[in-house]
Structure 1
């Protein structure tokens, strides 16, 4: 960890970088010995990517593909994957002004879902605020990121909670109803996509109800199952939808019926939006 802190201190001196924050499982304390170190590089343009590439080469002893902003897509943004003496250290860009704007939108109850490689459910915009809330700041010379984190940690915005719960209330039943159109054709691909979407909506709503941030799809179902308003068997029932999906119309209809019952239980347990 001392090495990562030293790297963060040096990164904070690169042109455009305002702060560096440790994220992911390392920040949450749920990491294993082989977990990556995810470093969020909070910046304002122009970002000195030439200096970042030089620093990466010095750390790794070789050439590293450090992207320009936007090189990894509209939401993950960009960065680089480094291996330093056997440890995986990922640099992930975050436009700080964009994070501020999204936090303002969260307080007004607005969110969007963006298409992004590696995120089959899509990136929910409020994940940017969640990253700040759960992250561990390693370098923040001006104190700007720490001040933002304090505001985000103070309370989960009620308008955002209401929006996410209300969205699940209409979209989950609607998605299940249109999933049934694929049953006569045995369209397992389409139905699986609908079920995945519904489970994701329920996980988002459960987290919002509890005032907890969802950063991505990984582990979201298991975490949702541990929240106060979740059915006790939420996670195993959600996962079972995909193990038992089948291919015949009868099997597919049964899976949708199971998802319908699960969704109804979850939504009945949530406070009105």
Structure 2
């Protein structure tokens, strides 16, 4: 459950200290091996009211009762901690807390699984799975990407820091695989073209959104940039060096048109991206 939010937020330096202290205490819970700050706060692009996303990297048996007790202590109210798998197969589980008037999210990550995914990525293998909160699917390279872009807060055994040092170098086999995946965008546009004339808005919208999403994935990989999720993806992709001119505006036109004209705009965008990927 979400706890009530106090009316005032603590000063930034006070909250920084509270988060650092909380991270240290979390690593004292059985199973928790490291805690990392993710999201916009890790990248320095946050707003004053942005959430604090804490990745709880664990191995083996996780003491959920101890996590719940710690959550209740720092928030002053009962907090439901979703167990591994409680939020789906990839986002896993965690909790939503409010600390000093600011949302603090605990996000569980199985460190053994993250390491297995990283090994697959180094060999050019990846998965795309259905996951709540990820309308274009959860792309498994997000796991090592999260590690690469995170700020490690507590890591008593040095495991996460060692993994982060590895993930800072984007694997060339993964780059090749995700660039090659752009073929599906062209296929999606072809499927949308067949449905646009009959006004099948659902099929057209799903095909075109997936096409655009795949293009953003492929362009990020081409430039060896980790891609975590769909939020902010259009703007980020448009800012990549060598991205097709006006990529973001053209993608928005595709996603808001959903008619035969939008399909042809999408087809042109796919051609331009494929050309950029060949450079």
Judge same fold: TM > 0.5, yes or no: yes
Which position in structure 2 is the counterpart of 1:13? Answer: 28
Q: Is the Cα contact below 8 Å between 2:71 and 2:97 reproduced in 1?
A: yes
State the distance in 2 between where 1:32 and 1:15 align.
Answer: 33
SS at match of 2:37: strand
Give the Å deviation of 1:178: 1.2
Matches within 5 A, 1:222-261: 222-245=235-258, 252-261=259-268
Instruction: Kindly indicate whether residue 122 of structure 2 is the aligned counterpart of residue 107 of structure 1.
Output: yes
Q: Deviations over 1:149-197 (max 9, x none)?
A: 00111x21111011011111x2111111111221232101110111100
Query: TM-score scaled to structure 1, two decimals?
Result: 0.95
Instruction: Kindly indicate whether residue 274 of structure 2 is the aligned counterpart of residue 267 of structure 1.
Output: yes
State the distance in 2 between where 1:100 and 1:46 align.
Answer: 17
Matches within 5 A, 1:133-172: 133-153=148-168, 155-168=169-182, 170-172=183-185
Which position in structure 2 is the counterpart of 1:196? Answer: 209
Q: Can you give the 5+ residue segments of structure 1 that lack an aligned partner in the other structure? A: 246-251
Q: Deviations over 1:204-233 (max 9, x none)?
A: 011001000011000011101111121130
State the distance in 1 between where 2:231 and 2:117 align.
Answer: 22
Which position in structure 2 is the counterpart of 1:248? Answer: none
State the distance in 1 between where 2:213 and 2:257 align.
Answer: 18
Q: Is the Cα contact below 8 Å between 2:197 and 2:260 reproduced in 1?
A: no
Instruction: Kindly indicate whether residue 40 of structure 2 is the aligned counterpart of residue 33 of structure 1.
Output: no
Runs of at least 4 residues off by over 4 Å: none
SS at match of 2:86: coil
Instruction: Kindly indicate whether residue 90 of structure 2 is the aligned counterpart of residue 75 of structure 1.
Output: yes
SS at match of 2:104: strand
Q: Is the Cα contact below 8 Å between 2:32 and 2:59 reproduced in 1?
A: yes
Q: Can you give the 5+ residue segments of structure 2 that lack an aligned partner in the other structure? A: 1-15
State the distance in 1 between where 2:88 and 2:165 align.
Answer: 28
SS at match of 2:82: coil
Give the Å deviation of 1:240: 1.5
Give the Å deviation of 1:243: 2.3
Q: Is the Cα contact below 8 Å between 1:156 and 1:211 reproduced in 2?
A: yes
Count of residues in correspondence between the two structures: 264
Q: Deviations over 1:52-86 (max 9, x none)?
A: 00000001111101111111000100000001121
SS at match of 2:205: helix
| Alignment root-mean-square deviation, CA | 0.9
SS at match of 1:100: helix
SS at match of 1:270: helix
State the distance in 1 between where 2:266 and 2:245 align.
Answer: 15
State the distance in 1 between where 2:245 and 2:52 align.
Answer: 33
Instruction: Kindly indicate whether residue 201 of structure 2 is the aligned counterpart of residue 185 of structure 1.
Output: no
